[in-house]
């Protein structure tokens, strides 16, 4: 695993031929898998990276924005208004900062930001990873995730969703990795959690990633494989053999986390060190 001291030269897109090293890791697994055989694939050809080295706005060749309140709070009864203002999203000192503010803005009581690579970058299979220090507090909901690139013609959940990292701010030691598809979406998603021991996700940086190939999605925290989801685990159609694009956002409130309370401190900032994709 690279760090900021030993990283690739800055570049938006780096295209290369795929190099795959197939391994089998055998261990007793109590999650979604139907047996104890885990397929592990090491993807090591870098095809997309953003190290957030240039202060200012995020790289427009990689990132666009969802703006507004969405339909029914982006389908989740979320409370924030998403903007592209520097108060909510900027690159500074080598990090992408996504900040949730408590303020009255266009009918909402909170603002934040949601970035996505839709129309700019998508990929079928590979390793997708990020290094983040998460915000915290009741009603704080950061995520690093993916949607099927055909979502405009194949509405959710048909397009599919892969939640590489999802976090309830009131549970600062635990993250979740999930997939959503037809027959297993929302509260019926296929999911598993990962809990730190004697640590919290808001006090330091952690790497969240998936390795995704034909008929499996592996979920990692700091290179620990904690879940593998396969077609045998889902309760409907497997929709993960096509291009997906990336999203990173910080929501406030919603059915998944509930509303902020009097103990929730604002502003809350999600610090993203890098985003990298391999194939």
Active site amino acids: 161, 166
Helix, strand or coil, per DSSP, at residue 169: coil
Residue 209's CB is within 10 A of a number of other CB atoms, namely 25
Q: Phi-psi bin for 166: left (phi > 0), alpha (psi -120 to 50), beta?
A: beta
In angstroms, rounded to a whole number, what is the distance separating the alpha carbons of residues 61 and 169?
31
In angstroms, rounded to a whole number, what is the distance separating the alpha carbons of residues 102 and 108?
9
Strands 20-26 and 224-229: unpaired
Residue 172's CB is within 10 A of a number of other CB atoms, namely 19
CA 16 to chain centre: 24
**11's tokens:** 């570049």
Helix, strand or coil, per DSSP, at residue 224: strand
């Amino acid at each position: 695993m690279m760090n900021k001291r030993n990283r690739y030269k800055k570049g938006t897109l780096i295209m290369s031929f795929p190099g795959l090293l197939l391994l089998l890791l055998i261990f007793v697994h109590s999650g979604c898998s139907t047996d104890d055989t885990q397929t592990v694939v090491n993807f090591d050809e870098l095809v997309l990276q953003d190290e957030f080295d240039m202060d200012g706005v995020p790289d427009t060749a990689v990132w666009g924005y969802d703006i507004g309140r969405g339909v029914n709070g982006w389908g989740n009864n979320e409370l924030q208004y998403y903007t592209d203002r520097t108060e909510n999203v900027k690159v500074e000192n080598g990090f992408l900062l996504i900040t949730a503010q408590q303020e009255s803005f266009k009918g909402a009581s909170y603002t934040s930001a949601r970035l996505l690579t839709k129309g700019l970058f998508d990929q079928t299979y590979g390793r997708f990873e990020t290094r983040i220090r998460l915000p915290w507090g009741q009603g704080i909901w950061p995520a690093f995730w993916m949607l099927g690139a055909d979502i405009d013609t194949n509405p959710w959940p048909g397009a599919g969703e892969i939640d590489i990292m999802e976090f309830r701010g009131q549970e600062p030691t635990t993250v979740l990795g999930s997939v959503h598809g037809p027959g297993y979406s929302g509260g019926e998603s296929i999911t598993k959690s990962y809990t730190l021991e004697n640590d919290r996700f808001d006090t330091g940086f952690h790497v969240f990633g998936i390795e995704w190939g034909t008929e499996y999605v592996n979920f990692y925290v700091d290179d620990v494989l904690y879940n593998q989801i396969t077609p045998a685990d889902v309760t409907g159609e497997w929709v993960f053999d096509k291009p997906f694009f990336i999203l990173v956002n910080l929501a406030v409130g919603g059915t998944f986390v509930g509303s902020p309370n009097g103990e929730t401190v604002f502003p809350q900032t999600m610090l993203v060190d890098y985003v990298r994709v391999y194939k």
